Structures are given as structure tokens and as C-alpha cells.
């Protein structure tokens, strides 16, 4: 799987944006990657690529989200994944969005509480 992704993360309103990059080929992340744990971020993207590609909606997206607030975190992912464009926004506003965040947490620079 090839990817060149730029991730901009804001952990709370007014906080400075953090920017990371994940550059990888079929053998895994390359030296241009700046996410804190490139191998974990690569693994998360490989497992949950459907969350980054709107042409392939994730299962369960038609179910109602529980009103569980996970925090003010925001992330914006742009770039390419296997030659396809990526332009996705993530947050922790409800149970569905928090689950999306948690699945890709290493890409955002840490664990699910990033």
C-alpha cells in the first residue's frame, strides 16, 4: 500500500496545530514520515483505509450515533492513498466520530486520547 498523507491535528480550540506526515510504500513507512510512531500509523491506515476514502464508505455509517462527547480534538487528513485522493476530517463529537478517531489514532500522533 502506498501513501503520502499530511495530517493536521488540533487538540483543543486555540491550541497550535500539529502537522504530521506519513509517507509509505508496500514495505512500510519511509524516512520522510514525521508521525510519532510511523509503523503504528501505517498499520492503522492499512487496517482502516476505508475511513480515509469516501468512495468506500465504512460499514455501520447508517446507524445513529450515541451522544457521547469524546473531546474537542480535530484532524484533517489530505494526500493520496494507493493513488486515490484523500481529504477527510475527523473529530470526537459523538460515538461514531470517536470510533473513527480511535481507529486511526496513531495517524493523529498518539493513542485514542490524543
Going by the DSSP 8-state scheme, the letter that residue 17 receives in this structure is: P
Q: Is it the case that residue 102 has pLDDT exceeding 90? A: yes
Extents of the domains making up the chain: 3-108
Q: What is the pLDDT of residues 54-96, one digit of tens each?
A: 755 455 555 555 667 677 889 999 999 999 999 999 999 888 8
List residues bridging with 9 in a β-sheet: 18, 75
Cα–Cα distance, 31 to 17 (Å, whole number)? 22
Q: What pLDDT was estimated at residue 112? A: 44
B/e letters for 55-70, b = 16+ CB within 10 Å, e = fewer, are: eeebeeeeeeeeeeeb
pLDDT at 114: 46
The CATH number fitting domain 3-108, selected from 1.20.120, 3.30.350, 3.40.50, 3.10.350: 3.30.350
Amino acid at each position: 500500500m502506498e501513501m503520502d498523507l499530511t495530517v493536521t491535528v488540533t487538540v483543543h480550540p486555540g491550541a497550535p496545530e500539529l502537522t504530521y506526515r506519513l509517507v509509505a510504500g508496500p514495505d512500510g513507512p519511509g524516512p520522510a514520515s514525521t508521525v510519532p510512531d510511523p509503523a503504528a500509523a501505517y498499520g492503522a491506515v492499512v487496517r482502516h483505509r476505508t475511513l480515509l476514502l469516501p468512495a468506500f464508505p465504512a460499514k455501520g455509517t447508517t446507524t445513529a450515533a450515541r451522544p457521547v462527547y469524546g473531546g474537542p480534538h480535530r484532524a484533517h487528513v489530505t494526500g493520496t492513498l494507493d493513488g486515490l485522493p484523500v481529504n477527510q476530517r475527523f473529530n470526537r463529537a459523538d460515538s461514531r466520530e470517536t470510533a473513527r478517531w480511535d481507529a486511526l489514532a496513531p495517524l493523529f500522533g498518539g493513542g485514542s486520547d490524543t
